[in-house]
Amino acid sequence: MNQIIEKIAETAGFLEEKGFTGASTAIVLGTGLGTFIDRVEVLRQIPYNDIPHFPVSTVESHKGKLSLAKINDKKILIMQGRFHYYEGYSMQQITFPVRVFKKLGVTSLLLSNAAGGMNPEYKKGDLVLLTDHINLQPENPLRGVHDAALGPRFPNMSEPYDIRLNKLFIKTALELSVPLKQGIYVAVPGPNLETRAEYRFLRVIGADMVGMSTVPEVIVANQIGLQCAAVSVITDECDPDNLQPVKIEEIISVAAKADQKLSTVFKMVIEQL
């Protein structure tokens, strides 16, 4: 486990030398969510494959760059693209950047993702604020030999998404007249989409939307004391009684159309942090 701590220190030290310092907020941009970067002043940018110990994003539409940017006088770190369990990475690799952010002085983590909407009230392009989640991924980022330097062994998950941050998202969306629904996200391994029976099962256990990311990062953020908020873009309607085949290109296209709304909300939230 000390090896992970050494890698975190080495990566954070490398980024500090490159000038990636002074940010208190980090953002992870998910599938099809790219225009946020156009709304900020980019100060520095580096591809993931130039960062020691960083995984490399292999998914279409994930650009694979880390940026230091500025909104007004606030510095933020932006991950354009994330890592997924289905890409073959371990949960420790997937969540490694979150631990590096903490080492760099980040206190708030904002995440976005594309998700399938199982709640019949959700339509394509809707934005949904996560209020809770269900983890059905077969691995946990905290599994293995424990080192107290990484945070508590059994972190409390009674409020995985920070209530104060969520209230700020709700208030901001209202002020911008951007509809923002609320719901429970279930994380599955992927990469295949679900069967009719699986959608029925996931709905029965209490989920409003389904995706293949976000939860590992949120678990680690809670362990290390980062405030967390996440927003899903509903990219397809998962009604098992009227299920239509979905192409990944269509999912990316729907996410891209919702991108403008989500980026506007994210920017205004950060201005108020």
List the domains of the chain with CATH numbers: 2-272 (3.40.50.1580)
Which residues contact residue 211 at a Cβ distance below 8 angstroms, ignoring those fewer than 6 apart?
113, 114, 115, 116, 185, 186, 187, 188, 232
Dihedral over Cα of 228, 96, 83, 27: its sign: positive
pLDDT at 32 over 70: no
* Span between the terminal Cα atoms of the chain, in Å: 34
Q: What pLDDT, on the 0 to 100 scale, is given for residue 1?
A: 55
Q: How many percent of the chain have pLDDT more than 70?
A: 97
How far, in Å, CA of 215 to CA of 137, rounded? 9
Which letter does DSSP use for residue 105 in this model?
T
Q: What pLDDT, on the 0 to 100 scale, is given for residue 255?
A: 85
pLDDT at 18 over 90: yes
What's the rounded mean pLDDT across residues 184-188? 98
Mean pLDDT, the chain, rounded, equals: 94
Closest-CA residue to 183 (of 265, 269, 115, 245): 115
Q: Which residue type, as a one-letter code, is found at position 84?
A: H
What's the rounded mean pLDDT across residues 146-164? 95
Q: How many percent of the chain have pLDDT more than 90?
A: 85
Q: What pLDDT, on the 0 to 100 scale, is given for residue 58?
A: 67
Half-sphere exposure of 236 (CA within 13 A, CB side): 21
Q: What pLDDT, on the 0 to 100 scale, is given for residue 248?
A: 81
Q: What pLDDT, on the 0 to 100 scale, is given for residue 61?
A: 52
How far, in Å, CA of 271 to CA of 273, rounded? 6
pLDDT band for position 246 (cuts 50, 70, 90):
confident
Q: Cα separations (Å) of 96 from 5, 80, 146, 166, 203?
A: 10, 15, 15, 24, 31
pLDDT band for position 56 (cuts 50, 70, 90):
confident
Dihedral over Cα of 225, 226, 229, 232: its sign: negative
Distance of CA 26 to the CA centre of its chain: 10
pLDDT at 193 over 80: yes
Q: Which bin fits 64, alpha (ψ -120 to 50), beta or left (φ > 0)?
A: left
Q: What pLDDT, on the 0 to 100 scale, is given for residue 91?
A: 97
For residue 62, give the 3-state DSSP assignment: coil
Q: What pLDDT, on the 0 to 100 scale, is given for residue 249?
A: 85
Q: What pLDDT, on the 0 to 100 scale, is given for residue 57?
A: 72
Cis peptide before 97 (omega within 30 of 0): no
Q: What pLDDT, on the 0 to 100 scale, is given for residue 35?
A: 84
Of the candidate ranges 34-38, 118-122, 159-163, the one whose mean pLDDT is the lowest? 34-38
pLDDT at 59 over 90: no
What's the rounded mean pLDDT across residues 45-67? 84
What's the rounded mean pLDDT across residues 4-20? 97
Angle between the N-to-C axes of helices 163-175 and 248-272, in degrees from 0 to 180, rounded to the nearest 10: 100
Pairing of strands 65-71, 127-135: unpaired
Tell me the whole-structure pTM to 2 decimals: 0.95
Q: What pLDDT, on the 0 to 100 scale, is given for residue 62?
A: 52
How far, in Å, CA of 49 to CA of 46, rounded? 8
